[in-house]
Amino acid sequence: MASDPHCVFCKIIEGTVPSRKVYEDEELFAFHDIAPWAPVHFLILPKRHIASMAQLTEQDAAMMGRIMTLAPRLALEQGCRPYPGGGWRVVINTGAEGGQEVHHLHVHVIGGPRPWLKG
């Protein structure tokens, strides 16, 4: 389904739940995590409602590739320092045992000067 009326991240994308937006294009959306672990912590997600990484198919390869190439650009814009002295972490929690809390696929980008709260 394109949008799930019960999904908080779909509501953020539609603008009915507020967020601090980092980036938007026709396919992708990014916003700051409400409970950051680190000085930089934002989420990149497809606008289309996909429940988790477990639902990805070959048709999603280009979209996921775009997320992975957008991540370093946005990480630097948001204050992560350059590789190799700086850097960031990319995390995709998937399912209950993977620690996924919000069931709309999202990629965490976490970074900035240490210490971090977690990780």
Taking the complex as a whole, the smallest distance from the CB of residue 13 to ligand AMP amounts, in Å, to 11
CB 31 within 8 A of CB 39: no
- Of 28-36, 56-64, 70-78, 110-118, the window that binds ligand AMP (rule: CB under 6 A) is 28-36
Among 10, 19, 22, 50, binds ligand AMP (CB under 6 A): 19
Asked if 102 is part of the footprint of ligand AMP (rule: CB under 6 A), the reply reads yes
Q: For residues 42 and 75, give the distance between their C-alpha atoms in angstroms, rounded to a whole number.
A: 9
Residue nearer to ligand AMP on the CB measure, 76 or 91 = 91
Exactly one of 3, 8, 21, 51 binds ligand AMP (CB under 6 A); which one?
A: 8
Number of residues engaging ligand AMP in binding (CB under 6 A): 11
Classify residue 60 as exposed, middle or buried by CB count within 10 Å of its CB (0-12, 13-18, 19+): middle
Question: Rule CB under 5 A: which of 54-73 touch Zn ion?
Answer: none
Q: What is the spatial distance between Cα 51 and Cα 57, in angstroms, rounded to a whole number?
A: 12
Q: In the chain, which ranges are E strands? A: 21-24, 28-32, 40-46, 88-91, 107-111
